[in-house]
Each structure stands twice: as structure tokens, then as C-alpha cells.
Structure 1
Amino acid sequence: MARKRDPQQREDGFHQLLPHAAEHLDELIERFEHEQDDHGLRCWLLELIAAAASPTALPILTAQLNGPDESLRDWAAVGLSKLNTPEARTLLWQARANGTIT
């Protein structure tokens, strides 16, 4: 549904998947890594990855936290906050200290 032209169908698909993000994490990560054309879709995918709150997402969240895209950095920070592991907290602290996130 994420590729539908109808914005409401896209929104509905996102909200249907949100509570099940952890079940589909590997697929979400794969889609995120291959999506280059649709910035909004990349943001939604990273939001879903963040919602999964899984250590499996740590590498992609870390990469986006240090990336050039502010929107993706914000979603990466959300995901790391939800993950709430010592490593995730350290990454967030470093990003705040560097001024990468607020």
C-alpha cells in the first residue's frame, strides 16, 4: 500500500503495519536500504523500524543518526530512545554532544 497513489491508502497501510513492525523488521530494513526515490516513504520505513524497538535495527539506526538527512536522523533518535540499551543511549549522548540532534 506504500506505493499507492492515493495518500489515504498510503496512510492506512502505514497505520496497519505500525503495530506489527517488529514482525516485519527484516523486510522493512531491506525496503529502507533499497528505497532511494521516495523520501517520504524512507521516513515512514525508518519510523516503522524505530517502532520495532529491536536490537536488530541498531546498525541502520546508527547509520541514519550520523547521516545528512535531518528527518531520518530524528527517526533514528526515536528508535534508539525506544531501544534504550546502553549502546543506544551512548550513541544518543554522542549525537547530542556533537550537535547532530537536539
Structure 2
Amino acid sequence: MTKRFDEAMRLMRRRNGQDRENGFALLQPHAAEHLDELIAAFRAEEDDRGLKAWLLELIGDARSPEALPVLAEHLDHEDESLASWAVTGLRELGTKEARTALYRHRANNAHK
């Protein structure tokens, strides 16, 4: 892990809201550089739903085809914030595969 990533995660785990925001802001412009670390942290996070949503948002912000499986996997998540960030991330990715995942998701949920 890089020093930037470690510092950002330390801040994002703090109780102070401004510290959490600062940690997110530290990573956001560098999300693509830290995609593997973000995915690992996302998969490991069990306790903090807000942090998990932020991590998925950052994964989407990476705009990398490597993020597609994680984003597509969470389209139907019971946590609406995760599902919403998955949709946003796939839209921003904008690849044919991302559009296909979104189309299938809409088609599968059209009659619910």
C-alpha cells in the first residue's frame, strides 16, 4: 500500500466528519492509481456502511474496466447506497460491457 492510500484510509476511518471527508478527497483524484487497494479495502470492510459506500464510489471514479466486476456485482445489493454507486460507476465507465450490465439490470428489474 502506498503512503497516500494508507493516510486516506486512516482519515476515512476517523469519527470526525471533516477528517473522513479529507481522506476521501485525498484519494478521489487518484482513484485509478489505487484501484486494486480500493477493491481490497472494499471487500474487507464489514463494519462501516458509509465507508463501504465511499470505497465503491471511489472504485467507480477510477473509470477502469477492471472495476466492472465489482460494480456489476453490487447492482442489486440490498444496501441502496451501494446499488446506487454501482449504477453511477457503470454509467461513468461507459464501456460496452458496462452498458450491457446496466441494460440487463434494468431488464431484470422492470417487472419488480
TM-score (norm 1): 0.92
Q: Which has the larger radius of gyration?
A: 2
AA aligned opposite 1:79: G
Among 1, 25, 29, the residue aligned to 2:35: 25
How much has 1:19 moved relative to structure 2? Answer: 0.6
Indicate the residue corresponding to 2:58 in structure 1. Answer: 48
Indicate the residue corresponding to 1:10 in structure 2. Answer: 20
Task: Report 1:77-96 matches (<5 A).
Answer: 77-96=87-106
How much has 1:98 moved relative to structure 2? Answer: 2.3
For each residue in 1:14-51, what CA deviation from the matched residue of structure 2 results, as whole angstroms up to 9, or x when unmatched?
01211100000000000000001000000000000000
For each residue in 1:44-78, what CA deviation from the matched residue of structure 2 results, as whole angstroms up to 9, or x when unmatched?
00000000010111111111113222111110111
Aligned counterparts of 1:49 and 1:65: Cα–Cα separation in 2: 14
Overall identity of the aligned pairs, in %: 57
When structure 1 is superposed on structure 2, of 65-74 and 7-16 the one drifting more is 65-74
The answer for unaligned runs of 5 or more in structure 1 is: none
How much has 1:99 moved relative to structure 2? Answer: 2.5
Among 23, 35, 57, the residue aligned to 2:67: 57
Aligned length: 100
* Root mean square deviation, CA, Å: 1.2
Aligned counterparts of 2:29 and 2:102: Cα–Cα separation in 1: 25
The answer for unaligned runs of 5 or more in structure 2 is: 1-10
TM-score (norm 2): 0.84
